Amino acid sequence: MSITVKLSPLFIAIAATITPAQAAENSPREGFVEGSSLNLSARNYYMNRNRLQQADDNIEWGQGLLGLFESGYTQGPLGFGLDANAMLGLKLDGGGGTDGSSILPIGDGNGKAPGSFSTGGATLKMRAMDTELKAGDLFLNNPVIAGGMSRLLPQTFRGVSLSNQSFDGWLLEGGQASFTKPYNQSGHQRIGTSYGTLADGDESRHLNWAGVAWSAVPGLSSSLYASELKDVWNQYYYDLDYRYALSEHTSLNPGLHYYHTQDSGEALLGAIDNNTYSLHLTLGVGSHSVTAAYQRVNGNTPFDYIAQGDSVYLDNSQQYSDFNGPNERSWKLKYAFDFAGVGVPGLTSALSYSRGTLNLRKVDPDSPGYGAYYNADGQHAKHWERDLDLQYVVQNGTAKNLAVRLQWATNRGGNGYGALDNDTDEYRVILDYPLNVF
């Protein structure tokens, strides 16, 4: 499951995929000290998952602190630099039997999350002309390996990355990651998957990826990525997005996202042959926008992605459910309103309804990674989700960029869907406050 969270400016700086145009604008400044920056961010996060068929709910409240230092580059044709980060998560509430919401680390069996968790990391970087090489703890965000940024603290990866912006409107990147630091843990571990179950002792050694993003024509963008989660799968991604202005205040935005996932190597999760796509069309009129989306999973396994990651670039990935079950077809209708149009800049809202049907009888019950999805009564399994999102970002004054976000999701299932998940109401209150030190 994943959620879409509008983050504070610091989290956005870490998480956002850098377009070719942005890369040109934000090219590193010369000078190791002159080009350096230090940003701090405080995030207060409350999550309440009311699972209606369980005696215990998942309720946690935490305070996250993130410090991010980024140096400039030494002068000359070959520049060197250093980035460093430090993170601290504090438990404010997570009493007996209420852990497991994913905000804090899992407790030791007594239902109580630890009082705190922390981590730190560093990245060495090198720049030659328009090419940048990084090695160490990486903040990554692309369609095949994206660190989870939607909880108390961000997820990082340990490995190397290479990017190039030599051509206007183009971004080329690739790399390898061998370990990840999950967003609710202190230590590092091998990279797993969100929906597959690996047998004891099995693990993927690393994830390789490469991709290209293009945005040379105003309003039109596209990207193509490929990844290999060693001995698990090869995954490929393509998207195409176009924004067309019908008039000064009216626009149309059609788009496509497509993933193909195929088992590879030792196939630790079993056979995978999955084609998943989503289509959307958004009509924007002034401060209003209406989006209709259709999503389909063609395959007898769910559409899967790396554990805790946000690398699920699909239109129907909602706050609680990704609508990505085996053979699932889903649609979504969403309405959004920006209150700047009525004189309240910084206040935004969105309301959406999604519905999906899936066939769990086609799942191979002997699949080592996905056999648990099989359900003889799930030929016409179904579920729906309603999401409400309200956010305010302070625009001026000493509290500028302070963001408060309220989220509510309701997910209900039937016809055998209960074998996968419980009926759930989920509430989130998120407070972000960024501070630029220098």
Is the pTM higher than 0.75? yes
CB atoms near residue 425 (< 10 Å): 17
Between CA 40 and CA 325 the distance in angstroms is 38
What are the backbone dihedrals phi and psi of residue 13, each rounded to the nearest 5 degrees, phi first? -60, -35
Between CA 61 and CA 335 the distance in angstroms is 29
Q: What is the mean pLDDT of residues 286-296?
A: 98
List the helix and strand counts (H, then E) for the chain.
Answer: 2, 21
Q: What is the mean pLDDT of residues 289-313?
A: 96
Q: Could you tell me if 246 and 284 are in contact, meaning their C-beta atoms sit under 8 angstroms apart?
A: no
According to the model, what pLDDT value does residue 109 have? Answer: 65
Of 110-119, 192-201, 316-325, minimum mean pLDDT range: 110-119
Residue 59 confidence (pLDDT) above 60: yes
Token digits of residue 192: 């797993």
What percent of the chain is modeled with pLDDT above 70? 91
The DSSP result for 350-363, as a single string, is: EEEEEEEEE--TTS
Per-residue pLDDT band at 297 (split at 50, 70, 90): very high
Q: Which residues of 380-415 are buried (b: 16+ CB within 10 A; e: fewer)?
A: ebbbbbbbebebbbeeeeeeebbbbbebbbbbbbeb
| Residue 210 Cα distances to 176, 224, 227, 272, 381, angstroms | 9, 9, 7, 21, 36
- pLDDT per residue as tens digits for the range 223-282: 999 999 999 999 999 999 999 999 999 999 999 999 999 999 999 999 999 999 999 999
Domain positions in the chain = 9-436
CB atoms near residue 317 (< 10 Å): 24
According to the model, what pLDDT value does residue 95 have? Answer: 66
Three-state SS for 15-74 is: HCCCCHHHHHHCCCCECCCCCCEEEEEEEEEEEEEEECCCCCCEEEEEEEEEEEEECCEC
Q: What is the mean pLDDT of residues 184-204?
A: 91
Q: What is the mean pLDDT of residues 178-199?
A: 92
- The 3-state DSSP class for residue 12 equals helix
What percent of the chain is modeled with pLDDT above 90? 79
According to the model, what pLDDT value does residue 29 have? Answer: 54
Radius of gyration of the chain (CA): 22
**Fold held by 9-436:** Porin (2.40.160)
Between CA 286 and CA 275 the distance in angstroms is 36
- pLDDT per residue as tens digits for the range 337-361: 999 999 999 999 999 999 999 999 9
